[in-house]
Amino acid sequence: ESRWPYLFGMIIVPSLIQVVILPFLPESPRYLLLEKHDTSRAEKAFQTFLGKEDVSREVEEVLSESRVQRNTKLVSVLQLLRTRAVRWQVFTVVVTMGCYQLCGLNAV
């Protein structure tokens, strides 16, 4: 029982390692391109991750995905339930997750 404080203190070690290493990790190319709008740093990050010089195809792919996401219409839960094409999929997921919560697996 006297060693419990040491056990809780061990959490500090991985936290310190993460704080020291984090500044040296590269940024995500997608984050740099879409959030920061920094194309040159995004291309450098792609080059680092992929190990090739020409990454224009990957940059264009991320930009086209972003355009598609911006044009996607969001629907409410009520509209989702009213859509006949996805009603059974939603019902299946809801029943499965309800059973998962009630079966006691989380307690194990």
Q: Which amino acid type is present at position 85?
A: A
Residue 106 pLDDT more than 80?
Answer: no
Residue 67 pLDDT more than 80?
Answer: yes
Residue 18 pLDDT more than 90?
Answer: yes
61 and 19 within one domain: yes
Helices and strands in the chain: count of H runs, count of E runs: 7, 0
98 and 81 within one domain: yes
Structural domain count of the chain: 2
Nearest one of 69, 45, 67 to 55, comparing CA atoms: 45
7 and 39 within one domain: yes
Residue located via tokens 């995004």: 42
Range of the domain at 31: 1-72
As a whole number of angstroms, the longest Cα–Cα distance in the chain is 61
101 and 68 within one domain: no
61 and 8 within one domain: yes
Determine the average pLDDT of the residues in 83-107.
86
80 and 45 within one domain: no
Nearest one of 4, 3, 49 to 26, comparing CA atoms: 49
Distance of CA 21 to the CA centre of its chain: 20
84 and 52 within one domain: no
